[in-house]
Amino acid sequence: MELVIINNPATIGWQANLLDLVLLVMFASAVVYAIAQWRRGVRAYLTLLAAAFFYGVVLELGGMALLNMYVQGDFTVMLNFRALAPFQGTTAMPFYVLIFYPVFLFTGFKVVEAWGITRRWQAAVTGGLFMVAFDAPYIIEGGLRHVVWWTWRSDFPMFQYWLDWPLVDLCWQATWDAMFFYLMLWALPHIDPPGRRGWSTAKSLLVFAPLCALVTIAVGPLLLAPQTAVTFLGGRQWPVVLALILGYVVVAATALRTAHPARDRVEPVTGWIVGVYVAAMAAMVIANAVHEGALLSYITVQAAGLLAICGLTLFPWLATRRRPVTIAAADATN
């Protein structure tokens, strides 16, 4: 049995081919940027990419071997882990999954650090909310019957759906990504300390990066404990999910109101990567509306996710435009 399966792109939906291309462009952009920063003495971004890669591989392979929650659809390049004994009876994995976590977490982290939120936990939670918005167009798209990037297992006990989006996936994105961002923000003064010696490159890449991934995976199930408990007690997940998201919105609103972005504009690499993703997903959302012949609820949520992505990415620019007005108003009252 072959470990790598190559499919004819012409036999695969255009959405799958576009997703492959977009993620490759985003990943290449992130790697080029991280290497350029490393040459300037900033090691945080290479460390983040290493941690995210390790996190994704362990999470996906562990999930395949232990949980087997879905069946993947066909992409041009598929990694056939079923050829290996621990993964027999599971699904083949699209190649893009290997770069998915580095791409998403790098993008989220660049947006988070640009906000200038001073409290680490607030920045991490607000980042988790951003990742829910960032994931929404993708995760809804993938489960559509006219797209089929994957098929969720109907008998998986933790799956309760909103617009065919498993609520546990929504909470996972919000909580686990927030945990990952918190660990990265905690490590920044050690990876790139201002004016003093910090961790070595080897320690950052070979010790902290895998530890960051493993700690996130170890703590993550505890963060999902309320949802898990409600599910296995026979309850509905949506009140837990709603409470979580409302709490995140309150934290984000408070944090962004007092944030102090270091820049008055969006950093070019962030604007480019987010722009590529938003443009590609917007094309798919428009195609969904054409396919359905109506603006259905799931399309509205996808579009809302894209608008939230743009608004949160543009926050540094919006905040600095608002600042002179605030100062002028304060002067007028003195």
Residue-wise pLDDT for 299-318, tens only, equals 999 999 999 999 999 999 99
- Among the ranges given (89-98, 169-178, 211-220), the one the predictor scored with the smallest mean pLDDT: 89-98
User: What is the per-residue pLDDT for 166?
Assistant: 96
Q: Residue 222 domain-assigned?
A: yes
With 90 as the cut, is the pLDDT of residue 332 above it?
Answer: no
Q: Residue 282 domain-assigned?
A: yes
Residue 267, C-beta contacts closer than 8 angstroms, at least 6 positions apart? 110, 114
* Angle of CA points 249, 253, 254, to nearest 5°: 120
Domain extent, residue 29, equals: 4-150+158-192+199-322
User: What is the per-residue pLDDT for 318?
Assistant: 92
pLDDT (tens digit per residue) in 250-299: 999 999 999 999 888 999 999 999 999 999 999 999 999 999 999 999 99
Phi first, then psi: give them for residue 237, nearest 5 degrees.
Answer: -80, -25
Please give the average per-residue pLDDT across 220-228, as a whole number: 97
Q: Residue 332 domain-assigned?
A: no
Q: Residue 20 domain-assigned?
A: yes
- Under the banding of pLDDT at 50, 70 and 90, the label for residue 329 is very low
Specify the residue for token string 């490393």.
38
- Under the banding of pLDDT at 50, 70 and 90, the label for residue 33 is very high
With 80 as the cut, is the pLDDT of residue 1 above it?
Answer: no
User: What is the per-residue pLDDT for 328?
Assistant: 40
User: How many structural domains are present in the chain?
Assistant: 1
**Whether pTM exceeds 0.85:** yes
Rounded Cα distance between 172 and 211, Å, is 19
Nearest to 70, CA basis, from 161, 136, 9: 161
Residues of the chain by 3-state class (helix, strand, coil), percent to 5: 70, 5, 25
Q: Residue 92 domain-assigned?
A: yes
Residue 70's identity, in one-letter code, is Y
Which of 2-11, 241-250, 323-332: highest mean pLDDT? Answer: 241-250
Q: Residue 330 domain-assigned?
A: no
pLDDT (tens digit per residue) in 134-158: 999 999 999 999 999 999 998 899 9
Task: Taking the CA atoms of 120, 121, 125 and 126 in sequence, report the sign of the dihedral they define.
Answer: negative
User: What is the per-residue pLDDT for 323?
Assistant: 61
User: What is the per-residue pLDDT for 325?
Assistant: 45
Please give the average per-residue pLDDT across 121-132, as a whole number: 99
Cβ contact 107:26 at 8 Å? yes
Region label for 254, one of left (φ > 0), alpha (ψ between -120 and 50) or beta (otherwise): alpha
Q: Residue 305 domain-assigned?
A: yes
Rounded Cα distance between 280 and 286, Å, is 10
Q: Residue 274 domain-assigned?
A: yes
- Under the banding of pLDDT at 50, 70 and 90, the label for residue 324 is low
Pull the structure tokens for residue 36.
């350029």
- Under the banding of pLDDT at 50, 70 and 90, the label for residue 327 is very low
